[in-house]
Amino acid sequence: DVKVTQSSRYLVKRTGEKVFLECVQDMDHENMFWYRQDPGLGLRLIYFSYDVKMKEKGDIPEGYSVSREKKERFSLILESASTNQTSMYLCASNVGGRRDEQFFGPGTRLTVL
């Protein structure tokens, strides 16, 4: 079974802190994605990566950066956390084709105080 894991289920941070969210997949997938999910807005793509060290901005990249140094690991970084970044963060991965299923991690619920 494909497994996507995220470093924390719940995280509480203070405004201005630098926050790292880690995602690891164990199926040698090419593509990895970071989304945030908010009520009434659905899942919105922050960044995705189609190869090691390669990344593309999604719909809402402002205030975020990403790192993919190894194929299995995709990190989301909040440079200076703000209260409007309080959300559920979901990582996903897939093999590489447009028809391919995305496999999601369990999510990290981040609260910024």
Partner 1 sequence: RKEVEQDPGPFNVPEGATVAFNCTYSNSASQSFFWYRQDCRKEPKLLMSVYSSGNEDGRFTAQLNRASQYISLLIRDSKLSDSATYLCVVNDASGTYKYIFGTGTRLKVLA
Residues within the interface to partner 1 (CB under 8 A): 31, 33, 35, 40-45, 48, 50, 56, 58, 90, 94, 96, 98-99, 101-102, 104-107
CB of 99 to partner 1, least distance (A): 5
CB of 104 to partner 1, least distance (A): 4
Whats the size of the chain, residue-wise? 113
The helix/strand/coil state of 19 is strand
Residue 44 near residue 59 (C-beta atoms within 8 A): yes
> Shortest Cβ distance from residue 98 to partner 1 (Å)?
5
Return the number of the residue (26 or 79) whose C-beta is nearest partner 1: 26
Closer CB to partner 1, 15 or 50, in the complex: 50
Taking the complex as a whole, how short is the minimal distance between the CB of residue 13 and partner 1, in angstroms?
20
Contacts 24+ apart (CB under 8 A), 69-73: 71/28, 71/29, 71/30, 72/24, 72/25, 72/26, 72/28, 73/22, 73/23, 73/24
